[in-house]
Structure 1
Amino acid sequence: MPFTRGKKPALPAGSKIPKLNATTSENQDEGPQVKRSSSPPHGAPKKRTAFIDITNAHKVQISLPGRKKEAGKKQVKKTSAPSVSAKNNANLTKSLSVSSDGTPDEKEKTDSEEGNEEAVQKDVAAPVEGLVAAVPPAAREVPAHLQKQPIPEEFDIDSENSEDCYMCPEYAKEIFDYLKQREEKFVLCNYMPQQPSLNPEMRAILIDWLVEVQENFELYHETLYLAVKMADHYLSKTPVHRELLQLVGSTAMLIASKFEERSPPCVDDFLYICDDAYKREEIISMEASILQALSFDINIPIPYRFLRRYAKCVNAGMDTLTLARYYCEMSLMEMELVSERGSLLASACLLMALVTKDLGGWRPILQFHSGYQTSDLAPVVRKLYEMLLAPPDDKLRAVRSKYSHKVFFEVASLPLVNVDILDNALSQ
């Protein structure tokens, strides 16, 4: 409660109020700062007095041109012994102050000063020369595996972005080569036989629902792909009852949102889209379970990133890239394609889109950046073609309705390419 004006607050017995000296002030421009006379109790942390100049502004001395120093004021010199670096700086200043034409301010060095300089230089140079001499000539060269491999000029797709630091043109090729190597750590197999209460249809329904979640929350496509990957890896290691399958999917989307999004949805949002089927404690517990099952390594290479990279190699238009994205997103619901690596799946989707748009087959520049030949892509392309040729399922409408919109160039309504044309492209 605020104190009543005109009355002194009641204090308990034995308490004291610190007195302020009226003749001094804590905000004086000159002179030392006023310190509290009361000492803190033994073991208590040292307190900082409020309303004092906590900067070093009172210690800064600014010399303006044209002003002379006032008489009677002397600068305070440090009494500490000069270090070796300070001596070197002083000797360097003396040597630079000597002019070539012999000015009156020229000073001659004594023999003792020259001897000190030579001694200091020897003391500094000796360890460096010893280290250089100790390293053999072969070790000074950069190892072969660390040297940057030259990219042929006809395959260079990053030099045009040399002024854009966000595109990382200097090591973009190395980044995707590293992601391609990391794929070997996240290879999956058909884990459905290890799930007694699940089947591929349930998994497809879950992913179809995750596509709707990605659209409603306006999340990145990378978030969707990463969520599907994490859910698959968790299901490959942990048996899950069918009643908890939606909890696994929504929690995987929550983790992926934290990893990819700038403003990820909160836990309450995911509880809402699950129609309050789960409690807050359950989704937090599932989050910890998924992270522990994946050993907290959730930077899983996804096909979406490879797809954008490979489409840039051939300067594919947005309509061609969107068609390949449609094929790639449809493949997320196929259990047979779970074991395929992301880079291989992205290459197969792009090849199908190029053939459908009559833009040619798998070019040498694509083979250079992806590392795959047409023969490597042929089995995956045929699986994709069979998947798209099958009649649509009424329960799985999210992806088709999403890519039937004008924003996505209505690529879902495009007819499939003739199988003979596709086989001809795969035989080249």
Structure 2
Amino acid sequence: MPLTRGRRAKDDAVTSAGARDKRVPSPSEGAPRKRGAFLNLTNAGKNLVRFPGSKKKATAPPPKSAAEHKAPAVHREEKENVAVRVPELVEREVKENVAVGVPEVPEVPRPPAPLEKAQIPAEFDVDAEDRDDYLTCPEYAKDIFDYLKSREEKFALPDFMALQPAVNAEMRAILVDWLVEVQENFELYHETLYLAVKLTDHFLARTPVARHSLQLLGSAALMIACKFEERSPPCVEDFVYICDDTYDKEQFLSMESRIFSALGFDIGIPIAYSFLRRYAKCAGVGMDTLTLARYYCEMSLMDVELARERASLLAAACLLLALLAKDLQGWTPVLRFHSGYALAEVGPVARRLHSALARPPSGNLNAVRQKYAHPVFFRVALLPLIDVDVVEKQASA
């Protein structure tokens, strides 16, 4: 308690002293004048500014007289002469620098003018209804598919089965049929299946493959496609399992590396499934017609000759057959505008696709038919194939 009384007494003394000093002395009694931080801005010219290291005090410049405010005519003439001589001096200096060998400073190029987007006619603007949906990229939709179509030239396939001494078209069809089953069991995207088949075909077009390594090639291609398309791709052990431990993990990783090296790590191959969905939107068809076209497109994966067709043109032929099967309008101007193909180009491919679909299945290759016979896919595989005369009439129109 004595310590507390001592503190309180001391605080009282300080408080009483402060109370006596509450009266602010006047400037005549020596009180400092108030000024703002960084000097008084309203009287900046009257304040003395001293910089570190300077010997003299900086004083404000004396006020100018009225005569000094008015510049003499001689000075104005000198300034005008100097302004006239500046370009001459610059030109002479440039010539001297060139003679001496001083490198000339390059001019900074001007930025290019903004690119102007091609205006889509109102009657062909199928993306107008999606203007507020940024996820569908309506302002870039046509440009994206035009770019994908231009990339097809880079991935044109030759007659690659002629380059394979140990693999034939029937073995490839068996592999594709098995990949369809794997895609359905793993519930993978359809884009994954199409890309896996494309990767397999492009590898076969570059490298000879032994018969016992064909399933390893297809599985490794599907594994790469899963990494490219899927949100949660299966792991390597899953692919080892579906192959019944015929190949080990190291063989899968080695084949994956071989595929990447053979394709130059460029696996963004345009696929028919993407074009088909785009064309179906342009045609404004229902889900049942689109599913029928998807069935035709997936059946085309089994045919090695149709695999060499451009993906965009094959998708157009699949949609044309579906439109004819549903007794809908044929190849409309809207489809021609967005696909870039006239009916004379689509017709021959549709005729070849119809011939491939009319052939009876060989062996037990029924994975695609069984898949699209399910009610989820509107049982489109059970629908009868349209007559060939209808296709011929449309193709020759």
TM bucket, shorter chain? 0.7 to 0.9
1:187 and 1:107 map into 2 onto residues whose CA distance is: 79
1:274 and 1:282 map into 2 onto residues whose CA distance is: 12
2:190 and 2:357 map into 1 onto residues whose CA distance is: 21
Cα distance 1:140–1:357, how it changes in 2: closer, same or farther (>3 A)? same
Identity of aligned residues (%): 61
Cα distance 1:244–1:355, how it changes in 2: closer, same or farther (>3 A)? same
Aligned to 2:295: 326
8 Å CA contact retained: 1:190, 1:338 = no
Aligned to 2:351: 382
Aligned to 1:239: 208
2:291 and 2:258 map into 1 onto residues whose CA distance is: 35
Aligned to 1:141: 113
1:47-196 paired onto structure 2 within 5 Å:
107=42, 141-142=113-114, 146-196=115-165
Cα distance 1:268–1:151, how it changes in 2: closer, same or farther (>3 A)? same
Q: CA deviation at 1:358?
A: 0.4
1:229 and 1:346 map into 2 onto residues whose CA distance is: 15
| Deviations, residues 349-381 of structure 1 (Å, cap 9, x unaligned) | 000000010011100000000000111011211
8 Å CA contact retained: 2:351, 2:395 = no
| Deviations, residues 170-227 of structure 1 (Å, cap 9, x unaligned) | 1111000000000000000111111111110000000000000000000000000000
TM-score by length of 2: 0.73
Q: CA deviation at 1:343?
A: 0.2
Q: Which amino acid aligns with 2:290?
A: L
- Matching of residue 264 in structure 1 with residue 233 in structure 2: yes
Cα distance 1:152–1:213, how it changes in 2: closer, same or farther (>3 A)? same
Cα distance 1:271–1:365, how it changes in 2: closer, same or farther (>3 A)? same
More helix by share: 2
Stretches of structure 2 that go unaligned for 5 or more consecutive residues are 1-39, 46-59, 62-106
2:394 and 2:357 map into 1 onto residues whose CA distance is: 18
Aligned to 1:255: 224
8 Å CA contact retained: 1:200, 1:335 = yes
Q: CA deviation at 1:392?
A: 2.0
Aligned to 2:196: 227
Q: Which amino acid aligns with 1:274?
A: C
- Matching of residue 400 in structure 1 with residue 369 in structure 2: yes
Cα distance 1:253–1:134, how it changes in 2: closer, same or farther (>3 A)? closer
- Matching of residue 207 in structure 1 with residue 176 in structure 2: yes
1:147 and 1:342 map into 2 onto residues whose CA distance is: 29
1:247-396 paired onto structure 2 within 5 Å:
247-396=216-365
Q: CA deviation at 1:109?
A: 8.3
8 Å CA contact retained: 1:189, 1:338 = no
Q: CA deviation at 1:393?
A: 2.1
SS in 2 for 1:312: helix
8 Å CA contact retained: 2:163, 2:208 = yes
Q: Whose radius of gyration is greater, 1 or 2?
A: 2
Which stretch shows the higher mean deviation, 326-335 or 388-397? 388-397
Cα RMSD for the two superposed structures: 1.9
| Deviations, residues 114-153 of structure 1 (Å, cap 9, x unaligned) | xxxxxxxxxxxxxxxxxxx9767xx7534xxx42111000
Cα distance 1:382–1:141, how it changes in 2: closer, same or farther (>3 A)? same
